Chains A and B, each alone.
Chain A
């Protein structure tokens, strides 16, 4: 075992909830230890289900292993959480091309290139050159013949974490939420989602629906504290059949909504909600 892998493994053992598994998984992948890299990535994913970088890592390892459907699934999930994740979009283009779905690959790469991704633009040029400029839809590229497209799956660092503000908003709470048992949204006064994501187990993002349905509770709570002269509203927490939901005002008109699994201790729900609210306040002060 090399020193850096040993160091990263030790660090992960000391703090299993840290994000160091991303570096460990990527290092293992680059060293060709693909089975171990996948194991590390999947374990990380269990704790960080809403982190796009975690899904991206699974995608890269799976692509290296030749498990293209799995890679496509992982990268698709990445883009559901972070729609402009450049690495995932290139990855989807790569896999689609490998699967012989050249037209779709071209469309994905073109969209990524249009957003300023130079690497996607370069891959797009190669795809179009192979397919014939202006007539890519007429060609079917056999699976297993894309060596000219890319010699390896996209391996650059996930740009989404440092670039578009849209992704920054969607992943605002990814690091604060220590595991996949929580999800958080920042809502405005009208119940519209400002930041965060609410992804169901089958990958559907229902943030808008959840935000719209639950935001009315705050209005009712504000009415109550005003009439009963209870002072400023600090939080509303309700326990349901499947979850514990905590709502905390953030500033004058925004609200942090945290949903945790029913098994999560109430004290932990409160602490995580407080941390997410602090994160939201800081972020709002930066983007204001």
Chain B
């Protein structure tokens, strides 16, 4: 996938109402590969924390015999975060708490297929 295609995939996610930002992070090290985020949003912090959370869920799920994690969603009072693993990278979206998760989830799966 070219950088332009990656940027377009992330842009399609950030066009959703309530989305603050979308990024692709290295799954092992939590470093930003590509990001499209609103002003004031720290892509570096999101990448590091989201990759860490996804990795923890992945290891825990495997240890519990539940297999690999395909999608993770964190919901908090002030926002939510969704992450999908795509091989060596993690696709992450941060959005308002009220954002339509069903639509976002479907769009993330489409974007993840393009990343794979």
Are B56 and A217 interface neighbours, CB within 8 A?
yes
Are B63 and A230 interface neighbours, CB within 8 A?
no
Contact bitstring A119-160, B, C-beta under 8 A = 1, else 0: 000000000000000000000000000000000000000000
Are A221 and B74 interface neighbours, CB within 8 A?
yes
Chain A residue at minimal CB-CB distance from B67: A241
Contact bitstring A206-239, B, C-beta under 8 A = 1, else 0: 1001100110110011011101111111111111
Are B60 and A217 interface neighbours, CB within 8 A?
yes
Contact bitstring B81-96, A, C-beta under 8 A = 1, else 0: 1000000000000100
Are A236 and B78 interface neighbours, CB within 8 A?
no
Are B68 and A230 interface neighbours, CB within 8 A?
no
A213 to B63, CA, bound (A): 6
Is A240 interfacial (CB-CB < 8 Å)? yes
Are A216 and B64 interface neighbours, CB within 8 A?
no
Q: What is the number of residues of chain B that contact chain A, defined by CB distance less than 8 Å?
A: 32
Q: Write the nearest CB–CB distance from B37 to chain A, whole angstroms.
A: 12
Is A12 interfacial (CB-CB < 8 Å)? no
A220: B residues at CB distance < 8 A: 52-53, 56-57
Chain B residue at minimal CB-CB distance from A223: B49
Q: Write the nearest CB–CB distance from B64 to chain A, whole angstroms.
A: 4
Are A238 and B67 interface neighbours, CB within 8 A?
no
Are B70 and A230 interface neighbours, CB within 8 A?
no
A232 to B74, CA, bound (A): 11
Is A82 interfacial (CB-CB < 8 Å)? no
Are B77 and A241 interface neighbours, CB within 8 A?
no
The interface of chain B, by Cβ under 8 A from chain A, is 45-46, 49-50, 52-53, 56-57, 60-61, 63-81, 94, 97, 102
Residue pairs across A and B with Cβ atoms less than 8 A apart, 19 shown, are A210-B64, A216-B60, A220-B52, A220-B53, A221-B74, A224-B53, A224-B74, A227-B49, A230-B79, A231-B77, A231-B79, A234-B76, A236-B75, A238-B57, A239-B70, A240-B66, A241-B66, A245-B66, A259-B66
